[in-house]
Amino acid sequence: MDKKLSKLGLFALTALAVACSENKQDTSDLSAKAADTPAAVQALSQDASKANADNAADTAVQSGVDYHSFANMDVYKVEHVNLDLTVNFDRKEISGSATLDIKKLNSDSKDPLILDSRALSISKVEAISKEGNRELSFNMGEKDAHLGTPINIEVGDATKVRISYKTSPQASGVQWLTPEQTAGKKQPFLFTQAQAIHARSFVPLQDSPKARITYSATIHTPKDLRAVMSANNDPDSQVDGEYQFEMPQAVPSYLLALAVGDLDFKAMGKRTGVYAEPSMLEAAAAEFEDTEAMLEATEKVFGPYRWDRYDLLILPPSFPFGGMENPRLSFITPTVIAGDKSLTALIAHELAHSWSGNLVTNAAWRDLWLNEGFTTYLTNRIMQLIYGDERYKMEMALGYEDLQADLKDFAPRDQIMAIDLRGRDPDDVFSNIPYEKGSLFLFEIENAIGRDNFDEFLRTYFDAFGFKSITTEDFLAYLDKTLLLQYPQKLSKERVLKWVFEPGIPADAPKPYSPAFETVDNIRATWLDGSLAIENIDSSKWTSHEWKYFLDGMPEKLSPEQMLSLDKQFSLTSAGNNEVAHSWLMLVVKNDYQPGFKRVHSFLTSIGRNKFLRPLYRALKETGKLELAREIFNEAKPGYHPLSVKVNSRILYPEDK
């Protein structure tokens, strides 16, 4: 998932009672952007962190244990899932069956198979065999408000289990859109979002990043709609209401994805293309036409692409993230279609996940930095390969600024890369710490041993752990056997452990630098002190990165005259680039600039990305405009994803439990 354009970022933490089974998996066989957190919310983070620390004070985090899954993965392994599902837009329901191929890891165990679910209605469970089917006894365990409900199935000696079920209309991982909420306004739309633990809301399974599965699916839809999945999509398949899919590579559950809508396809290269609603297809294909070049450049440096094709799916604006790295088919927000390729770092990020995240996966959400730190590092490298050094330096510098903002606002316990997430909702843990601190850690290693040597290490790392889920400790053990052994004079174990397990960043860490931003700093400063007239600012060659940096570096309070002159000179209220518009609208709200509030309203009611929503709703609340914020939120709420509703409700209705 993209950090700069889609991260959750804010640790608005909630204590929960985790009733997980002990699901530690033996890993010995392994060969191997920023939230300006207000003080009130930061206090919640610190309180929650303290409570979490108190509860876990006498126990250490167990490496390899997924504290956010009920599944007994030490007893059973689900190897393959076959789905036969029908999508019903009238009832907002997915129904059918999931057939699980299971392997008992302990032949003497009489334990039931325990699966994860959330708000699923289970009608029947059967053992499937050549001798015939037989019903199996099952029961639903105690419901947890955050984790859902375990399904306990007495499987006996069965190796194939079919679960017949249907989803809830309020499934946390499914969004149903009316025709009016889509770009084309003619057909409904459905998409799923499984990360972090939402796959269990539309499929009963072992919902853990360490539980890798292959899967196949038959999806039944209304006859004039196309289904696509994180699998082998066929753009030439007839739109007839029935679609077949295969995912032959083993993937973690959070990468299981489905979308259904009025979708067309346009190729962008031999292995790349884009699915989108017809009205957005040409613009999307033009914006992201460099995707094939990105894929080829990444292969040359970091090793082969192992997923056959890499296509994009452009979702409706309500998608709560910038992008989601579903293998073979990244889900992308339309808000990055800027017309000038200025926001294509998101595509580079989701593509990079094909190596770091999808291929080598964090075994638990505590180890998220293994996904996102590596991917952020690769993203910057891809941007350099395609767009050059200046763009690379700006991307790096913006990431560093994002990191500094989170280090300033987050409690020390939340600044640790291998973070203790016990008692937390994993939806709340995406921040610049795993993304940018993780990337900066790798950048330091690159600087220490040289880029060519580090690239060689990354290639061997992706080979060693390909299609495996690993822990922080697995990575550190691999580092011991490789770089720390090869470069004892340049790298130290003590320094590595400081990066991973201590808050903040170590002294003398590298600081990315952009000459272009230094120029912007000087222009901003001289305009603010009155020595540079606004009409003498030459912004004709500025990129969106420079515009964003220019606006984000403004003091929170500007005079009415300054706000008016900025808007009049640069037409910022009508800015078409969503990143630039968001930075401007934050100033609009904080400075009560009335000419901009119509755009604030239209922005919040037309876009569902939490990266944009949450800071604006917070700013409205903090500047005494809570009623206006609630009014806009309640108007926009029917079109928001359930996750967006949850996250922003915490800000606007903190009294609701």
Question: Which residues have a catalytic role annotated?
Answer: 350, 435
Query: How is the beta sheet containing 138-140 ordered, strand by strand?
Result: 113-117, 149-153, 138-140
The closest alpha carbon to 515, from 483, 491, 549, 484, belongs to 549
Give phi and psi for 85, each to the nearest 5: -130, 145
Cα 599–605–610 angle (5° rounding)? 105
Q: Is 389 exposed, middle or buried (0-12, 13-18, 19+ CB in 10 A)?
A: exposed
Name which of 345, 439, 477, 303 is nearest 447 in CA terms: 439
Q: HEC profile for 536-579?
A: HCCCCCCCHHHHHHHHHCCCCCCCHHHHHHHHHHHCHHHCCCHH
Q: Are 75 and 105 in contact (CB under 8 A)?
A: yes
Q: Quick one: how far is CA 109 from the chain centroid?
A: 37
- Cβ–Cβ < 8 Å for 640, 614: no
**Residue 264 burial class via C-beta count within 10 angstroms: exposed 0-12, middle 13-18, buried 19 and up:** middle
Q: For residues 599 and 597, give the distance between their C-alpha atoms in angstroms, rounded to a whole number.
A: 5
Residue carrying the six token digits 């499934």: 171
| CA distance between the termini of the chain | 28
DSSP E strand stretches across 132-268? 134-135, 138-140, 149-153, 160-166, 174-177, 189-192, 213-220, 226-229, 242-251, 258-261, 264-267
